[in-house]
Structure 1
Amino acid sequence: MSEPVYHVPVLLQEVIDGLNIRPDGVYVDCTFGGGGHSLEILKRLNAEGRMIVFDQDADARKNVPENDDRIIFVPHNFRHLQRFCRLHRITQVDGILADLGVSSHQFDTADRGFSTRFEGDLDMRMDQRQELTAYEVVNTYTEQQLHKLFEQYGEVTNSKTLARTIVQVRKNVSLRTISNFKQALHSVVKGNPHKYFAQVFQALRIEVNDELGALKEMLQQVPPLLKPAGRVAIITFHSLEDRIVKNFFRKGNFEEEEVDIDPFGLQSNQPPLKAVTKKPIVPTEAEMKRNSRARSARLRVAEKVGEG
Structure 2
Amino acid sequence: MENDPNPGGASVFQHRSVLLAEVLEAMEPVPPGLVLDATLGGAGHAAALLAARSDLELLGVDRDPDALVVAAGRLERFGTRVRTAHANFAQLGDLLDELDEPLVGALFDLGVSSPQIDRPERGFSYRFTGPLDMRMDPTQELTAEVVVNTYPVDRLTRILADGGDVPAARRVAREIVARRPLETTDDLVEATNAGTPAAVRRRGNPAKRVFQGVRLEVNDELESLIDALDQTIDRLVPGGRVTVLAYHSGEDRLVKERFRRADRGGCSCPSGLPCVCGSTPEGRLINRKPIVASEAEVAANPRAASVRMRTLEKGRRAS
Distance, in Å, in 1 between the alignment partners of 2:31 and 2:249 is 34
Find out whether 1:85 has 2:101 as its counterpart.
no
How far has the Cα of 1:144 moved from its partner?
Answer: 0.6
2:42 alignment partner in structure 1: 34
SS of equivalent to 2:149? helix
Deviations along 1:154-194, whole A, 9 cap, x unmatched? 11111111111222221xxx311111222344322333375
Find out whether 1:196 has 2:206 as its counterpart.
yes
Find out whether 1:58 has 2:65 as its counterpart.
yes
Structure 1 contact 22–45 (Cα < 8 Å) conserved: no
Q: TM-score, normalized by length of structure 1?
A: 0.89
Structure 2 unaligned residues grouped into runs of 5+: 270-274
Give 2:166's aligned amino acid: V
Q: 1:76 aligns with which of 79, 87, 98?
A: 87
Structure 1 contact 6–103 (Cα < 8 Å) conserved: no
How many residues are matched? Answer: 297
How far has the Cα of 1:82 moved from its partner?
Answer: 1.6
1:301 alignment partner in structure 2: 311
Relative to structure 1, the CA distance from residue 151 to residue 40 in structure 2 (aligned partners, 3 Å threshold; closer, same or farther) is same
How far has the Cα of 1:223 moved from its partner?
Answer: 2.3
Deviations along 1:189-221, whole A, 9 cap, x unmatched? 333375300000000001000000111001111
1:187 alignment partner in structure 2: 194
Give 1:56's aligned amino acid: R
Structure 1 contact 32–60 (Cα < 8 Å) conserved: yes
Distance, in Å, in 2 between the alignment partners of 1:165 and 1:26 is 49
Distance, in Å, in 2 between the alignment partners of 1:83 and 1:7 is 29
SS of equivalent to 1:232? strand
1:6 alignment partner in structure 2: 14
2:179 alignment partner in structure 1: 169
SS of equivalent to 2:238? strand
Give 1:9's aligned amino acid: S
Distance, in Å, in 1 between the alignment partners of 2:142 and 2:119 is 19
SS of equivalent to 1:195? coil
2:242 alignment partner in structure 1: 232
How far has the Cα of 1:234 moved from its partner?
Answer: 0.4
Q: How does 1:100-139 map to 2 (within 5 A)?
A: 100-139=110-149
Structure 1 contact 156–196 (Cα < 8 Å) conserved: yes
Give 2:186's aligned amino acid: S
Structure 1 contact 6–104 (Cα < 8 Å) conserved: no
SS of equivalent to 2:76? coil
Q: How does 1:92-103 map to 2 (within 5 A)?
A: 92-103=102-113
Structure 1 contact 111–121 (Cα < 8 Å) conserved: yes
Give 1:12's aligned amino acid: L
Give 1:81's aligned amino acid: L
Q: CA RMSD in A?
A: 2.5
Structure 1 contact 231–303 (Cα < 8 Å) conserved: yes
2:252 alignment partner in structure 1: 242
Structure 1 vs Structure 2: percent identity of aligned residues?
Answer: 38
Relative to structure 1, the CA distance from residue 7 to residue 192 in structure 2 (aligned partners, 3 Å threshold; closer, same or farther) is farther
Distance, in Å, in 1 between the alignment partners of 2:86 and 2:298 is 30
Structure 2 contact 31–240 (Cα < 8 Å) conserved: no
Distance, in Å, in 2 between the alignment partners of 1:101 and 1:8 is 15
Structure 1 contact 232–302 (Cα < 8 Å) conserved: yes
How far has the Cα of 1:258 moved from its partner?
Answer: 8.4
Structure 1 contact 228–306 (Cα < 8 Å) conserved: yes
Relative to structure 1, the CA distance from residue 258 to residue 114 in structure 2 (aligned partners, 3 Å threshold; closer, same or farther) is farther
Give 2:16's aligned amino acid: V
Distance, in Å, in 2 between the alignment partners of 1:21 and 1:258 is 27
2:166 alignment partner in structure 1: 156
Structure 2 contact 241–312 (Cα < 8 Å) conserved: yes
Q: 2:224 aligns with which of 214, 231, 235?
A: 214
Give 2:63's aligned amino acid: Q
Give 1:232's aligned amino acid: V
Give 1:116's aligned amino acid: Y
Deviations along 1:231-254, whole A, 9 cap, x unmatched? 11100001111111111111139x
